[in-house]
Amino acid sequence: MNKPRVKLPEAAKVGDLIEIKTLISHVMETGQRKDPDGKVIPRNIINSFSATFAGNEVFKADLQPGIAANPYLSFFMKVPSAGEFEFTWVEDGGSKVVEKIKLNVT
């Protein structure tokens, strides 16, 4: 899997409500399509995403083939303290991409 892109505000204060936007390139193969020989192309999607901040869970998403290729996800967090985000994308088959980003809390 490719390196994901994450967009956070440049700086935030404790108590702020911030939006987190994430994007990762992935084919999100549904398992419904057939190749030119008529064989079903096996399903291969990112089936789970999670975000933690300073070790606590903030947001999770269970994804199914109805999510478009290159899954985009945005969600919110009320900043509890200074800390670091950990974002995890899990593909069918279990391979993972983990991205850690520190939030600039002023």
Query: Using CB under 8 A, which residues numbered 75 to 94 contact other proteins?
Result: 75-78, 80
CB-based contact 16:50 (threshold 8 Å): no
* Alpha-carbon gap, residue 33 to 36, rounded angstroms: 10
Chain centroid, CA 94 distance in Å: 15
Residue located via tokens 């057939």 = 34
Number of residues this chain uses to bind other proteins (CB under 8 A): 30
* Alpha-carbon gap, residue 5 to 31, rounded angstroms: 26
**Of the ranges 6-14, 29-37, 84-92, 93-101, which one interacts with other proteins (CB under 8 A)?**
29-37
Token pair listed for 105: 């809390």
Chain centroid, CA 14 distance in Å: 23
Task: Give the nearer residue to other proteins in terms of CB position, either 59 or 97.
Answer: 59
Residue 9 lies near other proteins (rule: CB under 8 A): no
Token pair listed for 67: 């999510």
In angstroms, give the least distance from the CB of 4 to other proteins.
14
Give the residue, chosen from 7, 14, 72, 98, that forms a contact with other proteins under the rule CB under 8 A. 72
Give the residue, chosen from 53, 85, 87, 89, that forms a contact with other proteins under the rule CB under 8 A. 53
Binding site for other proteins (CB under 8 A): 17, 30, 32-34, 41, 53, 56-69, 71-78, 80
